Amino acid sequence: MLGSEILYTAQQTRALDHCAIVEHGVPGIRLMARAADAAFRHLMARWPAPECVQVLCGTGNNGGDGFLLAELAHKRGIPACVLQLGDPAKISGDALRAREAALAAGVSIMPFADQPLRDAGVLVDAMLGTGLGGDVRGDYATAIAAVNACDAPVLAVDIPSGLCADTGRVLGCAVRAEATVTF
């Protein structure tokens, strides 16, 4: 029998993050780094010798986790690249700091539209997180279809892109991930 787990709504997880940052003084970038580390450790445990790691990043904090995961892979000698969705000019706060750290470490960041996905290695879904409120459209829907058509295994950070965090309902389309790490 599985042990019981406490599940939180998207709003409750945002409140927990806010509490850690505001009331306990934990910098948001540190929370992001912890999430990236947990996801990277799971990736390496499940797929111990990936040929490469392709991380699809959105413009929010889920993307920030992905940038830092790509940086961890790169620093460990695993070829890693980020495929950016959305306008990079809209990235702000901790997600921007994470993107800048990945770039400074030498991680290649390219627009998603310019790069086909490779079937080799591991794909990391860090496109859309718990804040998704409506159906997935545009480049994000295109990226989700490409991920689902790829033969590479997929690790989702926090939640597979396209799922409603509160209900699990598919919002238009969703990534089919082999594993999901939430922190």
Can you give the pLDDT at residue 1? Answer: 43
DSSP code, position 19: I
The interaxial angle of helices 61-75 and 93-105, nearest 10 deg, is 20
31 vs 21, residue with greater confidence: 31
**In contact, 109 and 84? CB cutoff 8 Å:** yes
Can you give the pLDDT at residue 2? Answer: 52
Say if 4 falls within a structural domain: no
Question: What does the alpha-carbon distance between residue 49 and residue 41 come to, in Å, rounded to a whole number?
Answer: 12
Number of domains in the chain: 1
* Domain that residue 51 falls in: 10-181
Say if 5 falls within a structural domain: no
Q: What is the pLDDT of residues 40-66, one digit of tens each?
A: 999 999 999 999 999 999 999 999 999
Structure tokens at 52: 């490469």
Whether pLDDT at 133 is above 90: no
pTM score, whole prediction: 0.92
Say if 132 falls within a structural domain: yes
Say if 2 falls within a structural domain: no
Whether pLDDT at 120 is above 60: yes
First-residue to last-residue Cα distance in the chain: 23
**In contact, 179 and 146? CB cutoff 8 Å:** no
The CATH number covering residue 36 comes to 3.40.50.10260
